[in-house]
Amino acid sequence: MHGQERLQRLAVQKYDELIATSALSSASQSGDFKDRNLDGIEWKADVVPSGVTNLDQIKVTVYETDSSGNGGSAEIDGLRYNPPVTTSTPATGAGG
């Protein structure tokens, strides 16, 4: 697999993982792929308000940090829906 294609696939996989596990808060996050035995490759995820209520834009960037690599990078972005938090008050019935 070519370097750029590998970075793109890793970006898609990390994006899917973050969305599926709801592991992404409203702050930026970053990490590496050492759990997959891939040294010299890191990722960063940014959450940006989209301007639409309850909708965030998610951008995942995967990049090479190894000095022997070509310094390539790949990005993927998409949208995440955040359901509104609803509060309910207990119904009060007439006693009798």
Distance CA 12, CA 78 (A): 10
- Per-residue model confidence as pLDDT tens digits over 66-94: 666 567 999 999 998 888 888 877 666 66
Distance CA 59, CA 79 (A): 9
Amino acid residing at 80: R
pTM: 0.77
With a cut of 60, say whether residue 96 has pLDDT above it: no
Asked if residue 43 lies in contact with residue 65, where contact means CB atoms within 8 angstroms, the answer is: no
Question: Can you list the positions of beta strands (E) in 8-96?
Answer: 29-33, 38-49, 55-64, 73-81
- Per-residue model confidence as pLDDT tens digits over 27-81: 789 999 999 999 999 999 999 888 998 898 999 999 998 666 567 999 999 998 8
